[in-house]
């Protein structure tokens, strides 16, 4: 199974008017990173960067001078995500921007059925929160000390580790989904088992005093006492063998 864990940084929060300025992702196959990554800074084509957004990701307009536009990187990005599930934290935000950029170029939108939202998974697993990426890194002991600012590629790398923990930890990534074809020959054998019976039953370990004391207790339990099933054919002293067998279980 192939998955792309990805993240975007944008000029602002409105996918209708704002633009993607950084796009990053890493490839997982059977929940293991393959080492294949995608990372591009993108020129927003004269779209100003909101100061609040810049405070989060630290990317300025000067940083994007000479960088490619989204139309110049879209084919490479499409090739990178082709056929894969897309994993993002608060995926609705990122997918809205991706689809807005695709729409401007006449590309089909990303099918929501191939999108996995780690924030939704985290809210189910940890309903009391917090469930930000930083909080989940702390919860799972993932080193996020390099994350002084948001960054698409670094956040994708951290999210990949968080995602694996969210879906069951490292054991979830053991490649159990790999299909292996084998041929097994099974031979049927008939095995005869004989059980030897004791020539004489074991002697009971209960004394007469213990049996009598037990019989008195049983009489006080009432007519529906289960012990009466053992005593129904006579007094307890006559059922020494039965009571002794029960005592040895």
Catalytic residues: 150
59 CB-near residues (< 8 Å, 6+ apart): 9, 21, 22, 41, 49
Q: Determine the Cα–Cα distance for residues 215 and 236; give it in Å rounded to an integer.
A: 6
Which DSSP string corresponds to 154-194?
Answer: HHHHHHHHHHHHHTTSGGGGS-TT-----------------
Residue 186 backbone zone (phi > 0: left; psi -120 to 50: alpha; other: beta): beta
Rounded to 10 degrees, what is the CA torsion of 174, 177, 144, 73? 140
Indicate the pairing of strand 20-29 with strand 115-117. unpaired
- For 207, 216, 233, 240, the CA distances from 212, given in Å and listed in that order, are 9, 6, 15, 10
**DSSP category for residue 47:** P
């Amino acid at each position: 199974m192939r998955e792309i864990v990805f993240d975007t940084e944008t000029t602002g929060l409105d996918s209708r008017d704002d633009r993607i300025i950084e796009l990053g992702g890493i490839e997982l196959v059977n929940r293991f990173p393959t080492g294949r990554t995608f990372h591009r800074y993108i020129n927003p084509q004269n779209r100003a960067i909101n100061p609040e957004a810049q405070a989060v990701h630290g990317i300025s307009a000067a940083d994007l001078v000479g960088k490619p536009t989204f139309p110049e990187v879209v084919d490479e990005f499409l090739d990178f995500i082709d056929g894969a599930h897309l994993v993002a934290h608060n995926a609705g935000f990122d997918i809205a921007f991706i689809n807005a950029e695709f729409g401007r170029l006449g590309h089909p939108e990303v099918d929501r059925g191939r999108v996995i939202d780690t924030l939704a998974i985290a809210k189910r697993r940890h309903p009391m929160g917090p469930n930000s990426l930083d909080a989940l890194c702390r919860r799972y002991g993932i080193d996020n000390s390099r994350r002084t600012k948001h960054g698409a590629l670094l956040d994708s790398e951290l999210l990949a580790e968080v995602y694996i923990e969210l879906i069951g930890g490292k054991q979830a990534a053991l490649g159990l989904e790999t299909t292996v074809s084998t041929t097994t020959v099974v031979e049927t054998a008939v095995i005869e088992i004989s059980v030897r019976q004791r020539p004489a039953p074991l002697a009971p370990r209960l004394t007469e005093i213990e049996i009598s004391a037990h019989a008195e207790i049983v009489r006080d339990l009432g007519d529906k006492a289960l012990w009466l099933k053992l005593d129904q054919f006579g007094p307890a002293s006559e059922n020494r063998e039965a009571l002794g067998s029960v005592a040895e279980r």
